[in-house]
């Protein structure tokens, strides 16, 4: 059996979209260990094909040469192949220092010496699942969809701690680490929360990082009695469990959007500055709202962190009523087992 080390991307969404690659490697008999930064490691723990995880002690944005040498020394002699998913030079250093015989990845930032199984950098922005899957070779199916799994006991424990019941609440992920140009307006989220809560009193759980807690608090304040703020109060594992057990998720193009897709829950995903052609939620129960054709904005997609014109019309123009209709349609299709 081939012993393979996968060097993981640092973002939650990218980690989810790497799952089909790991599944392909596992199907052909490779034993997979993932080297991941601590904040993204829970995503890989929800992938049954992963045998072990090495948490990397590296600080964001730093070379940490001493730490990389130490990690590489601990991995030496344990692996036959390495798949380096990030395109940076830093990501390829550990497999090279560990002297793993086969080191596969894209050419990236000029990694000629570090990798010996190099793929040419693709043009443009290809779909991420296909981008990672190509590292497995030509037999990879681009129709693959990410899938995550949590034990029922894990989900039940999180629900008990949150005092929530399965299928009795909605989840929102209103943040986006990349920047405000990806965020649907807070008042739109509040309007959607008020409307959903008015249907039958179901709670809306607001998820996100500690830095997104003020955003979530503002949404909750504008939707009195409808929301509970979990942002900054739960781990990523907890957030994943809440999404998996919810009626559905409303979100921007974000990491938690991809988590919901991988659990197959009903969802509405609002895109603006980014493109669903590049990072779509690969979920039969997803409804994507992207108004490029309707609005005729030449700037879509810009992939900017902040709107260069200051209006974010691509997001503001997505009405809460439209998001509600899409989310309820997705939930209805699941409950009646209708075609997606």
Residue range of the domain that includes 67: 3-136
pLDDT in tens, 119-137: 999 988 899 999 999 999 9
Cα(252)–Cα(268) distance, integer angstroms: 8
Number of domains present in the structure of the chain = 2
Look at residue 197 and tell me if it is in a domain. Answer: yes
Q: Which of 104, 136, 168 lies at the terminal end of a domain, its last residue?
A: 136
pLDDT at position 62, please? 75
Residues 284 and 241 in one domain: yes
Query: Is residue 207 very low, low, confident or very high in pLDDT (cuts 50, 70, 90)?
Result: very high
Look at residue 42 and tell me if it is in a domain. Answer: yes
Mean pLDDT of 80-99: 97
| Pairing of β 31-36 and β 50-55 | parallel
pLDDT at position 87, please? 94
pLDDT in tens, 306-331: 888 878 888 999 999 999 999 999 99
Rounded percentage of the chain residues whose pLDDT exceeds 90: 81
pLDDT at position 337, please? 58
Q: Which of 69, 104, 136 lies at the terminal end of a domain, its last residue?
A: 136
Look at residue 304 and tell me if it is in a domain. Answer: yes
Question: Nearest to residue 19, comparing CAs of 225, 210, 261?
Answer: 261
Look at residue 141 and tell me if it is in a domain. Answer: no
pTM of the prediction? 0.94
Q: How confident is the prediction for the chain on average, in pLDDT? A: 94
Q: Please, which residues have CB within 8 angstroms of residue 276's CB and are 6 or more apart in sequence? A: 253, 269, 288, 290
Question: Nearest to residue 68, comparing CAs of 92, 102, 43?
Answer: 92
DSSP 59: P
HEC string of 237-257?
A: HHHHHHHHHCCCEEEECCHHH
Is residue 30 within 8 Å of residue 1, measured between CB atoms?
yes
pLDDT in tens, 46-73: 999 999 999 999 877 678 899 999 999 9
Query: Is residue 335 very low, low, confident or very high in pLDDT (cuts 50, 70, 90)?
Result: low
DSSP 169: E
CATH code for the domain of 234: 3.40.50.2000
Cα(174)–Cα(191) distance, integer angstroms: 13
Look at residue 323 and tell me if it is in a domain. Answer: yes
pLDDT at position 339, please? 43
Look at residue 146 and tell me if it is in a domain. Answer: no
Min mean pLDDT across 102-106, 172-176, 266-270 is at 172-176
Look at residue 147 and tell me if it is in a domain. Answer: no
Residues 183 and 309 in one domain: yes
pLDDT at position 340, please? 42
Min mean pLDDT across 79-88, 131-140, 272-281, 282-291 is at 272-281
Look at residue 99 and tell me if it is in a domain. Answer: yes
């Amino acid at each position: 059996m081939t012993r393979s080390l996968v060097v993981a991307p640092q973002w939650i969404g990218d980690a989810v979209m790497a799952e089909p690659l790991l599944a392909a490697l596992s199907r052909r008999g490779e034993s997979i260990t993932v080297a991941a930064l601590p904040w993204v490691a829970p995503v890989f723990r929800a992938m049954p094909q992963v045998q072990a995880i090495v948490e990397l002690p590296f600080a964001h944005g730093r070379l940490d040469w001493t730490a990389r040498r130490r990690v590489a020394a601990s991995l030496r002699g344990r692996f036959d192949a390495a798949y380096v998913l990030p395109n940076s030079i830093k990501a390829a250093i550990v497999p090279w220092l560990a002297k793993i015989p086969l080191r596969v990845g894209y050419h990236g930032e000029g990694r000629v010496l570090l990798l010996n199984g190099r793929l040419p950098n693709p043009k443009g922005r290809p779909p991420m699942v296909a981008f990672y899957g190509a590292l497995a070779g030509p037999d990879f199916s681009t129709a693959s969809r990410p899938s995550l799994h949590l034990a029922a006991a894990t989900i039940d424990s999180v629900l008990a701690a949150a005092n929530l019941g399965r299928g009795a609440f909605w989840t929102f992920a209103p943040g986006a680490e990349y920047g405000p140009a990806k965020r649907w307006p807070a008042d739109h989220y509040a309007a959607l929360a008020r409307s959903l809560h008015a249907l039958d009193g179901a709670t809306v759980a607001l998820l996100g990082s500690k830095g997104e807690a003020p955003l979530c608090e503002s949404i909750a304040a504008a939707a009195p009695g409808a929301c509970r703020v979990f942002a900054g109060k739960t781990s990523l594992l907890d957030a994943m469990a809440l999404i998996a057990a919810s009626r559905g998720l409303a979100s921007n193009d974000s990491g938690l959007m991809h988590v919901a897709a991988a659990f197959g829950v009903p969802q509405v995903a609002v895109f603006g500055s980014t493109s669903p052609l590049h990072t779509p939620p690969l979920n039969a129960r997803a409804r994507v709202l992207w108004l490029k054709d309707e609005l005729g904005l030449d700037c879509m997609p810009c992939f900017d962190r902040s709107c260069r014109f200051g209006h974010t019309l691509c997001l503001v123009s997505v009405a809460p009523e439209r998001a509600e209709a899409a989310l309820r349609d997705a939930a209805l299709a699941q409950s009646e087992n209708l075609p997606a």
